[in-house]
Amino acid sequence: MAPSIVFDFDGTLAIGHGPVRAYAACVADGAAVEPGFIERVDAELARYDAGASSYRDGYDIVGSLAEAAGASDGDRAAAYERSRTRLGSGLAVVDTIADLDSALERLGRTARLVLATNAPETGVAAVLDAWGVRDRFDELHYTVGKPVGLARLIKRLIAEGPVLAIGDIFEFDLAPAAALGADTALVGATAATAPVSVTMRGRSLADLVPDLHTWAASAASSTSAPLGAGSGIER
C-alpha cells in the first residue's frame, strides 16, 4: 500500500501562457477568423489572471473565442495539434516552478508520482526531459480523457493507498478524484476564489510544496485512509 500524487500538466506543472498563445497563433494562421482575434485572446487572458474571467482556463478562452470568430471544430483541433509540436520552443515557452526537480525528488521518497493529462504526449515528454523531471514520475498518462478517464485511474490508485490529485480545473482534474474519496489540491489564478471544496489550494504549485510534503509524509505513515478536508490543510 502506497500513497499516490496525481499531477495535471497544463496549468499545474506547466505555467504561463506560452502554449495558449501558441494555440491562438495557430488558429489565426490556419483559420479565417475575424480581425482582432489575438487581441481579444490577450485581453481575456489578462482578465483570467486577475480572477475576473468566466472561462475554465486559457485553452477554453482560445477555443471559445476562436469558435465565435468563425473557426470550425476542425480548424480548432488542427490548430491545437500544431501548437503542441511547438511546446517548449521559443514559439511556445513553457515555465514551471522553481526547484521542481527537488520537490518531486523529495515527494517521490514516500509517494508514487503520477502524471495524468488530457494533452497528447507530443511536446510534453520533451518538456519534462528539458526540466530534468521525466524520470521522477512513476507513471505517465497522456490523452487521459478527463473527467471519465481520470476516474478510472484514481479508482485503481486509491485501491492501493491514499491519493492526492492536483490540478487547475476542478471539474476535470479534481472532481472525479474527490468523488472517489481522494484529496484534492486546486492551483491557478482562480484557486483562491473558486467556490469548491478542496483539501488545499494555492496560486501555483509552488505555494503548496510544504503542504504536499506534509501530506505525503502523513499518508505514507498511515494507509488506513486518505487525509480528509478536516486535516487542517485547506486554506
The Cα–Cα gap between 214 and 185 comes to 13
Cα-trace Rg, the chain: 18
Q: Is the pLDDT of residue 102 over 70?
A: yes
Q: Tell the burial category of 210 from Cβ atoms under 10 Å away from its Cβ (0-12, 13-18, 19+).
A: exposed
- What mean pLDDT comes out for the span 50-74? 93
Q: Is the pLDDT of residue 227 over 70?
A: no
Say if strands 4-7 and 200-202 run parallel, antiparallel, or are unpaired. unpaired
pLDDT tens profile 195-204: 999 999 999 9
pLDDT tens profile 17-30: 999 999 999 999 98
Measured over the CA atoms of residue 151, residue 156, residue 158 and residue 159, the dihedral's sign is positive
- What mean pLDDT comes out for the span 218-229? 62
Nearest to 8 by CA among 118, 122, 143: 118
The Cα–Cα gap between 5 and 184 comes to 10
Q: Is the pLDDT of residue 235 over 60?
A: no
pLDDT tens profile 158-179: 999 999 999 999 999 999 999 9
Q: Is the pLDDT of residue 229 over 80?
A: no
Cβ neighbours of residue 141 closer than 8 Å, sequence gap 6 or more: 114, 115, 116, 117, 153
pLDDT tens profile 71-80: 999 999 999 9
pLDDT of residue 232: 36
pLDDT of residue 1: 75
Q: Is the pLDDT of residue 228 over 60?
A: no
Mean pLDDT over each residue of the chain, to the nearest integer? 92
Confidence of residue 32 (pLDDT cuts 50, 70, 90): confident
Per the CB < 8 A criterion, the answer to whether 63 and 18 are in contact is no
Tell me which DSSP letter residue 34 carries: P
Confidence of residue 223 (pLDDT cuts 50, 70, 90): low
Cell match 490508485: residue? 157
Contacts 24+ apart (CB under 8 A), 90-93: 91/22, 91/25, 92/18, 92/19, 92/21, 92/22, 92/123, 93/16, 93/18
- What mean pLDDT comes out for the span 53-61? 93
Q: Is the pLDDT of residue 67 over 60?
A: yes
Q: What are phi and psi of 7, to 5 degrees?
A: -105, 135
- What mean pLDDT comes out for the span 223-231? 41
